[in-house]
A and B are shown apart, each in its own frame.
Chain A
């Protein structure tokens, strides 16, 4: 009889982490400009800063770290929302984060707000605020429908999403086209350069969030069987749900403010890991985080080079690669076992 042991989990996390680091190293050498390790750390002919070093340290590495952070954040919140809502179709944006972020971003542009926080554009700052406010609103409405009933929460998310999407369309219709174009492009999911301060702060928050969610993984396993079952097994469901929702929403909002809306990662990576390793959140959370980090690093590298010197929105790449990849996994593993049941 096989059960997850700490040793087995540690080994899997170690192997996955090593593969991620290797992939990040490889991807850091791929780009429109050819650079080499020798040049990166070698002296510049004229005594100044080596251009390869500049490209590597100031452009490629931060962007790769950014992709990894965003991938990890989206996948973990996907895992958590699927588990808490007991809905395999849940993704990080299910509680209206996407429309909230979009509305925030478009309002910032249309209102002509012009300030930066930690180097962030007003669009990103407003998107972050919009995402968090929307989750709070959905949570509040969900609570009004009953005692944190899952269906109430889901419906509140759907309605708020629809309402805010309509607001976005309304503003898009009446605003000047050059104003909204940049917002729409941003919402398609784009990696852009971030200052080291923003990068490390975001990484700190996302990693802390993932650790927090990992510590709740035993409780999340029980909640996957339903709130009542979990309560009967001694879980403080209200506390677990509140913390998990808040943390998942926060790391999603961070990801959205950094990169716009990158679809598919938060939906397919958790399912892919579930199909291969099973639904135990103790390994689902860390392995989804590492795998999604790797997936988004690879997808962003492709987005950088496929139509060089132009760049594709990374959200387009994640959907194009992720869709077929997930379908292969779905067919292969679902035949082996009845993974999902209604």
Chain B
């Protein structure tokens, strides 16, 4: 059953089209990767899906209701967003940061209930961030901080998670940790995950479906093994590459000029 339906979606920034006539749907409990070159409109699509910006044309249906009909606090109970890793200006602790996700659920008194505390504790445990609950975000590494922001999204207790390049700036170990965590959220908690990514190899390994956007109007959607073919990737990213298999996992290695010529650069 579709939990996200995008119909003929278009978005123009000033008069420049960023996204044109995209339609797709995401079923409940699916892990969808959104890939494509810079400027293809991936992050814009995420902003449209989280109602940060409104479409120029077309509709987005979230859980059978038009996104435009949701009030902000209602939508916050359906969709949580994790953006790229960042350090906030002021020194909030991990616990305070994750608790902030409960804001749409707070009573008018503005303080958290026992239930809120329990949900936050569960989110901290699930992301293995409880050991630094009282530390400030600025004191954590990039990978730890990103786990905290995922914990915050979990504490928001929504059926849909949107992520904007959650592993950019992270080293390989932390990239894998984040993807393991997301997969666990999908499998154990039944979350629908939509993640913008540049890492097609990790996306191919973890995601059920891929939306590959080449240009504003050119996109394909389907299982990674169909979408991440050498032809599709070379055409989309305008790069030559090499594809292979390790065990059951496929990979794509982009080849630079010197690798293609099989010659090292000379001075």
Contacts and interface: CB of A to CB of B under 8 A. Distances in A.
Contacts of A272: none
Given A1-B134, A221-B92, A339-B91, 17 more contacts: A1-B95, A86-B88, A86-B89, A215-B110, A221-B100, A224-B88, A224-B90, A229-B81, A232-B81, A234-B73, A235-B72, A235-B103, A236-B72, A337-B138, A338-B138, A339-B90, A341-B91
A341 to B, nearest CB: 4
Given A3-B96, A217-B110, A338-B136, A234 B103 contact: yes
Contacts of A127: none
B91 A6 contact: no
Contacts of B139: 337-338
B30 interface: no
Contacts of A87: 89
B28 interface: no
A234 B72 contact: yes
Interface string B89-121: 111110111011101101001111000010001
B246 interface: no
Contacts of A338: 91, 136, 138-139
A2 interface: yes
Contacts of A83: 90
How would you classify the secondary structure of chain A's contact residues: helix, strand, loop or mixed?
loop
A119 interface: no
B99 A3 contact: yes
Listed from nearest, the 9 A-B pairs whose CB atoms lie closest are: A234-B76, A234-B104, A279-B90, A234-B73, A338-B138, A232-B81, A341-B138, A341-B87, A339-B91
A3 B93 CA distance: 10
Contacts of B117: 3
B83 interface: yes
Interface of A: 1-6, 83, 86-88, 215, 217-219, 221-222, 224-226, 228-229, 231-236, 274, 278-280, 282, 337-342
A3 B136 CA distance: 13
B101 A233 contact: yes
Contacts of B77: 234
Interface residues of B, number: 44
Contact of B83 (A3, A229, A342): A229
A277 B52 CA distance: 32
Contacts of B52: 228, 231-232
Given A222-B100, A228-B83, A337-B136, A5 B111 contact: yes
**Which of B74, B75, B100 counts the most chain A CB atoms within 10 A?**
B100
B136 A339 contact: yes
B95 A337 contact: no
Given A215-B110, A278-B96, A341-B89, A232 B76 contact: yes
A342 B91 CA distance: 11
Contacts of A340: 89-91, 138
A1 to B, nearest CB: 5
B214 interface: no
B212 interface: no
Contact of B103 (A2, A86, A88, A233): A233
Nearest to A280: B96
Contacts of A6: 109, 111
B58 to A, nearest CB: 21
A279 B110 contact: no
14 contacts: A2-B95, A83-B90, A88-B90, A218-B103, A221-B92, A226-B86, A226-B88, A235-B72, A278-B93, A279-B92, A337-B139, A339-B90, A340-B138, A341-B91
Nearest to B149: A229
Contacts of B200: none
